[in-house]
Chain A
């Protein structure tokens, strides 16, 4: 069972919700994957002891000028123009390369080999409570998060995990699509403001495009307006939890204390949320 906690808008409380869900389910040894490789922060709440790391490299083409006949087939098949033929030279632009391997595969002279270009570090560990945990850290200056997320998603993850909780980056662009891909259910955390609603709509649209069932958590409940509420009602999206705006919660989170620890009454509420997610995943997408 794979749940991705996403949001659209940043700073709505994805990590707050995802870490507390993991803590609540700790007896089932959930696997927590912090997919926000540009700003990982879930480790601050879960405090895993790291025991493994791996430097991920994207395979970048290198052309052997001896064998290359400058036929231009590589440039033709590259969707991202990361390899081009200018004059009698084949040029590679590593920062544009997505590492798909098409050029290598299509080169009739077998003149291309792939050299790993380091993109970031993956880390894996376990928390005191038995939560297994992984995250990634994209190197500064590397423009593409997707290949690193793709590598992270399955690293150390077994085929029969009871729970995989993926903490998504914000937004609805490629890194989020990659994080969602393969999930059984999407949990969207939003805030009840026009801003929150605007991005919630986009995130719902994305999940639907991927044919994934969606549930919503309203964080900072009590502020803003009833736009999110009405949107969910109209679209038939269940609101699975409401977390009021609370100074006490804010202070606890700022000190790295998960919500379920700051207020133990949330333990049962997160158990209920887990049940609801299982049910949504089992129902799938109603057409």
Chain B
């Protein structure tokens, strides 16, 4: 499946960026063979609405699930509509999180994890 991580860098060694809408990079990983593509987040410098914009971007990429530190209410609403499942994780190298995801250890998010604009702080 196509699994996306909010990342601080462009490799599997990079750490998870805890922000969804304002992360610098989306690491798009094919879970079957761990091949990946690094995509720049188009919403990183948005004047507003980073969450919905990033969600639209992931939806267009055909992402099936995304792992981040949390999801605000706007991002949550848009990702849900796009059919992208959300998982929450603490900051760790993406590689380790891939293992955790495969082992079913990451918690699925079923409601917004915090208020809007957390990623701007």
Contacts and interface: CB of A to CB of B under 8 A. Distances in A.
Interface of A: 75, 78-82, 84-87, 89, 91, 93, 95-96
Contacts of A80: 47-49
A248 B50 CA distance: 50
Contacts of B116: 95
Interface residues of B, number: 19
- Classify the secondary structure of B's interface with A: helix
B52 A93 contact: yes
Given A86-B55, A87-B59, A96-B74, A81 B48 contact: yes
Interface stretch (B3-11, B23-31, B76-84, B100-108): B76-84
Interface string B60-95: 000000000000001001110111000000000000
6 contacts: A81-B46, A81-B48, A81-B49, A84-B52, A86-B55, A93-B77
B43 interface: yes
B53 interface: yes
Q: Max chain B CB contacts within 10 Å: which of A75, A89, A96?
A: A96
Contacts of B82: 86-87
A278 B12 CA distance: 65
Contacts of A79: 47-48
A75 B81 contact: no
A81 B81 contact: no
Given A81-B46, A91-B81, 6 more contacts: A79-B48, A80-B49, A82-B49, A86-B78, A87-B59, A93-B52
Contacts of A78: 49
B47 A87 contact: no
B114 to A, nearest CB: 15
A81 B53 contact: yes
Contacts of A85: 56
A75 B48 contact: no
A226 B59 CA distance: 58
Q: Max chain A CB contacts within 10 Å: which of B46, B48, B116?
A: B48
A84 B49 CA distance: 10
A80 B117 CA distance: 13
A1 to B, nearest CB: 34
Contact of B81 (A82, A86, A96): A86
A73 to B, nearest CB: 13
Nearest to B55: A86
Q: Max chain A CB contacts within 10 Å: which of B49, B53, B74, B83?
A: B49
Contacts of A75: 56
A96 B81 CA distance: 17
Contact of A87 (B49, B52, B77, B83): B83
Q: Max chain A CB contacts within 10 Å: which of B55, B77, B81?
A: B81
B43 A87 contact: no
